[in-house]
Amino acid sequence: MKHVAAVVAVAAVVAVAAVVAVIVTKVVNVMLQVEPRDRYTRKSVDGSKYEVTDHAWQQAQLNLSHGGLGLHSVSHHSSAAYIASLCASGFGDAQNPHLSHMVDLFNKLVSPSKVISVDAITTSPVHQRVLSKKLEDHQFSLLVEASSPADKARLLTVSAPHAASWLLVTPSPGLDLHLDPNELQISIQWWLGIDTARGSSCSLCPGLALDRLGNHATTCKWGGDVVTRHNHLLNVIVEFCHRAHLGVGCSGAGGGQEYRANDPKCSELGWVCIPLAVETYGNWGREAQSTFSRLASHLAIITSSHKSKVLTELYSRLNFTLVRAVARALLARCAPSLGLQDIA
């Protein structure tokens, strides 16, 4: 009976593997048969279509550290994967014509300063992670060079350290760490620079046209979104400070002149006032990064955790809170023109 059960178990595993293989094959075939522009066209409730532009799709294919969504192109990274696999398997010798061909293909996709040679990789095998980073760096630089000044500034800030950490948050309604379908749609469109206005006006500022990148919606003084976003970020910082057993006081953000003017008064009270500045896309200022680093060190000691893990959690919570607040500000002004609906 044990042998029969073992045979049945093996047969079941083989059957499942076969089904998975068939499903994967069908999905790949379907993806290959659909034109990219049709594949990434969305339809609004009113029937109007809007497209994920080539520029936005190129950004989406970048990794998170470059402000993308990590939707890597298989064809773009195939040479890196092949070279690394061949070297790791022991077949990466200088006489292998396939290796030479893939090295030539790889060198066409990177900047001249990042090219590799067959001799170098056969002497010292290289990991795919290293090769893919060379590809990503060059792809990002080309995208920035081809961008408008506004998009160039956006790409530089979304690629700042920890800016894309909101994408690493595990959705949890119980912990209030989730986006509803509309919030997710508008967040991704805004992150990729897709037009969120489409010719409409601000619903809270009659007659004022909305801009493509949502700059007005994220800074509009009507509706209380700016203050709400500020307070939600402060709540996260205060929570982490309390967990680290650190006393903290919070006040509204002011200009640089106001901050310097408050220094003598703060010194008299024995306070240390630190401006925690952040850009809309989640690029935190140097003072904030230094403060968060010290905060993570305190909390890591108390919780017996690695500092890097605590720091990742802190930035993820902060930037998720920031992006969700931005999404709600955009929806409050742009939703009628977008025709958003539940996609769950």
Between helix 128-145 and helix 149-158 the angle, nearest 10°, is 150
- Which of residues 15 and 293 earns the better pLDDT score? 293
Residue 141 has pLDDT above 90, yes or no: yes
pLDDT tens by residue, 267-285:
777 777 788 899 999 999 9
Report the alpha-carbon distance of residue 314 to residue 293 in Å, rounded. 10
Mean pLDDT of 326-335: 86
The two structure tokens encoding residue 75: 């064809």
Question: What is the residue-averaged pLDDT of the chain?
Answer: 80
Mean pLDDT of 22-40: 40
Residue 338 has pLDDT above 70, yes or no: no
Residue 325 has pLDDT above 90, yes or no: yes
- Give the range among 10-19, 102-111, 261-270, 322-331 with minimum mean pLDDT: 10-19
Residue 154 has pLDDT above 50, yes or no: yes
Residue 9 has pLDDT above 80, yes or no: no
Classify residue 71 as exposed, middle or buried by CB count within 10 Å of its CB (0-12, 13-18, 19+): exposed
Report the alpha-carbon distance of residue 100 to residue 118 in Å, rounded. 6
Give the C-alpha distances (Å, rounded to integers) separating 156 from 130, 146, 178, 215, 276.
22, 13, 26, 16, 20
pLDDT score for 259: 52
Q: Identify the bridge partners of residue 41 per DSSP, sorted by sequence position.
A: 51
The two structure tokens encoding residue 268: 């008299």
Matching residue, tokens 């901050």: 259
Return the ∠ at Cα 141 (arms to 31 and 80), rounded to 5°.
55
Mean pLDDT of 216-242: 91
pLDDT score for 249: 61
pLDDT score for 7: 40
Mean pLDDT of 323-342: 75
pLDDT score for 295: 94
Q: Identify the bridge partners of residue 278 per DSSP, sorted by sequence position.
A: 284
Record the pTM: 0.78
pLDDT score for 125: 81
Coil, helix or strand for 52? coil
Percentage of the chain modeled with pLDDT above 70: 77
Mean pLDDT of 161-174: 93
Mean pLDDT of 208-215: 87
State the distance between the two ends of the chain, measured CA to CA, in whole angstroms: 46
Split at pLDDT 50, 70, 90, the class of 250 is low
pLDDT score for 23: 39
pLDDT score for 326: 94
282: left (phi over 0), alpha (psi -120 to 50) or beta: left
Of 59-68, 91-100, 201-210, the range with the highest mean pLDDT is: 59-68
pLDDT score for 332: 86
Of 41-45, 120-124, 232-236, the range with the highest mean pLDDT is: 232-236
